[in-house]
Structure 1
Amino acid sequence: MSTYQDYQKQIAELLAKAEEARRSEVTEAKAKIRVIMAEYGLTLADIDGVAKPPKKATRKPVEVKYKDETTGNTWTGRGRAPKWLEGKDKNLYLIR
């Protein structure tokens, strides 16, 4: 009859064999993958597209619509009106 220590020893031996088998299989798999990639001229970017992230579209800056000629303050006309324009006629500052 086996003891607890015998089972622990067997477990350790099996874990070591399993790890060795895994390393061997991974090495073989990598070799197969390299052969297939070379055969078809593939790169990592071709496999999943992660190697080169897609370029993001750049936004064009919004053009200034209003300008105070005396101070040089500007506003695009988007969002809340700035303090310098409060209580004033916006059409007077409109850039034509």
Structure 2
Amino acid sequence: MTSNKFAELIAKRDALNAEIEAMRAEERDAALATIHELVELHQLHDVVTIGKAGKGGKRKAGKGGTVPAKYRDPASGKEWSGRGREPEWLKGKDRAAFLIA
């Protein structure tokens, strides 16, 4: 394929894309006009909301903040908030004895 032929095909593609977008806008405007007419005719203002769509998708979960320690190992001074995996120094022992006052 020659360079001129390639450039010609690119130009045709761009022209077709422009024509497609123009036709899409025309069709969209006609569809919206029909929808507006039907909403008016059947008095559906309280049921139908027409406008730009908002951002969709899931919300991100908030980051869990740090919490103060609830338990302290008197031997090492290590602390644990009570969240996550139980530390070795507390396993199998009565938690009440390690509570921070």
What TM-score, normalized by structure 1, do the two folds share? 0.45
- Structure with greater helix share of residues: 1
| Higher Cα Rg, which structure | 1
Give the TM-score of the pair, scaled to structure 2: 0.43
